[in-house]
Amino acid sequence: MRKSIAAVLASLIIGSTISSGVAEAHQPLVLLDSDTSAANGPLIVDGTLSFAVRAAFTKAGQKKAFRAQFNKGDALTVQYLIVDKKPENTLRNNSLPTLVITDPAGSKVTMKFSERTKFYEPYSKVNYLYLGRYSSEAQSGKYSFVISSKGRAAITIGVGEKEGVVGEVVRGVKEATKPIASSTPTATPKAESAGYTMEKVKANNSAASCWSVIRGNVYDLTKWIGAHPGGSGAIRGLCGTDGSAEFAAKHQGQSNPESRLNSYLLGPLAK
């Protein structure tokens, strides 16, 4: 278990070197300020695959949430972690954000803080603390995870354990509904622009708006700067530039390392 979570957390660091035994499927997922409910938050399509979900709060009363989908009989595994540094490691348990897990039938479980187990994550060179772990046999359907703050804090929620498969996160897409027949022909939507221009990328070159080009795609890395457990420097250096060469140098030998950036993808770079 500890090895699996360490691998997940390692993928949060763009500049870290991933060992050959760790698949690029361990994707980070940073919750946005707009992810205030499970319905509005991102959906992890397969909750058995390893994800590290990062939630940062600036004050009490804030909420961030996401969902994960499971089949009946799947292993549901969840871990609650914090970085072992101030201010997080100085907060008492009753001052940390709460995590409520709701199953497809509506039953709720609140994560209990039963430990403060230290471990050093060697890839990112960051110390973490396990505060709680929960596991059960999953029901079929979508589980919701709602995190509520009690003050300024940042936490990481580990979901899933399977390695070696790239996971999928769906954002901003409503549930598919059965099409309704209509006698009125539907207009064919016009094709959108062919992509984002390099001029636009160069204009977004600050911590307030950080865009970068990686292998022909444009990513908005703004939310990652503040949530990066290893510091903001590795991300700030990519702002407003084509970071393909630097990214490739940091991830040699990996077949699809940019897959960990899926939640930040804006679209293709215009040619």
**Which burial class, exposed, middle or buried, applies to 219 when counting CB atoms under 10 A from its CB (0-12, 13-18, 19+)?**
buried
Residue extents of the structural domains in the chain:
2-170, 198-268
Q: Is the pLDDT of residue 90 over 90?
A: yes
Name the pLDDT band for 184 (thresholds 50, 70, 90): very low
Task: Between 183 and 223, name the one with better pLDDT.
Answer: 223
Q: Is the pLDDT of residue 160 over 90?
A: yes
Q: Is the pLDDT of residue 148 over 90?
A: yes
Map tokens 């991300």 to a residue: 235
Query: How far is the C-alpha of 250 from the C-alpha of 257, rounded, in Å?
Result: 10
Query: How far is the C-alpha of 247 from the C-alpha of 244, rounded, in Å?
Result: 5
Query: How far is the C-alpha of 182 from the C-alpha of 54, rounded, in Å?
Result: 44
The mean pLDDT value for 31-40 works out to: 93
Lowest mean pLDDT among 13-22, 43-52, 122-131, 213-222: 13-22
Lowest mean pLDDT among 54-63, 158-167, 189-198, 258-267: 189-198
Report the percentage of the chain scoring pLDDT > 90: 44
The mean pLDDT value for 200-229 works out to: 83
The mean pLDDT value for 156-176 works out to: 77
Name the pLDDT band for 171 (thresholds 50, 70, 90): confident
The mean pLDDT value for 224-235 works out to: 67
Model pLDDT for residues 46-80, shown as the tens digit of each residue: 999 999 899 999 999 999 999 999 999 999 999 99
Which residues have a Cβ under 8 Å from the Cβ of 264 and sit 6 or more positions away?
30, 219, 220, 221, 223, 224
Q: Is the pLDDT of residue 159 over 80?
A: yes
pLDDT of residue 263: 73
**Is the domain defined by 2-170 classed in CATH 2.60.120.380?**
yes
pLDDT of residue 183: 41
The mean pLDDT value for 260-264 works out to: 74
Most confident among 56-60, 117-121, 160-164 (mean pLDDT): 56-60
DSSP letter string, the chain: -HHHHHHHHHTT-TTSPPPTTS-TT-EEEEPPTT--STTTS-EES-TTB-EEEEEEESSEEEEEEEEEEE-TT-EEEEEEEEESSTTGGGS-GGGSPEEEEE-TTS-EEEPP----EEEEETTTTEEEEEEEEEEEEPPSEEEEEEEEEESSEEEEEEE--B-SS---EE-S-PPP------SSPPPPPPPPPS-B-HHHHHH-EETTEEEEEETTEEEE-HHHHHH-TT-SHHHHTTTTEE-HHHHHHHTTT-S-GGGGGGGGEEEEBP-
- Inter-residue contact 30 to 263 (CB < 8 Å): yes
Beta-carbon-side half-sphere exposure of residue 23 (alpha carbons within 13 Å): 13
Most confident among 46-60, 116-130, 206-220, 247-261 (mean pLDDT): 46-60
- Per the structure block, which two tokens stand in for 54? 């990062």
The mean pLDDT value for 132-151 works out to: 96
Name the pLDDT band for 237 (thresholds 50, 70, 90): confident
Q: What is the pTM of this model?
A: 0.60
pLDDT of residue 119: 80
What CATH number does domain 198-268 carry, 3.50.30.10, 3.40.50.360, 3.10.120.10, 3.40.50.1110?
3.10.120.10
Name the pLDDT band for 112 (thresholds 50, 70, 90): very high
pLDDT of residue 78: 97
Bridge partners (DSSP) listed for residue 53: 29, 157
Query: How far is the C-alpha of 167 from the C-alpha of 262, rounded, in Å?
Result: 9
The residue among 63, 80, 69, 11 whose CA lies nearest residue 43 is 69
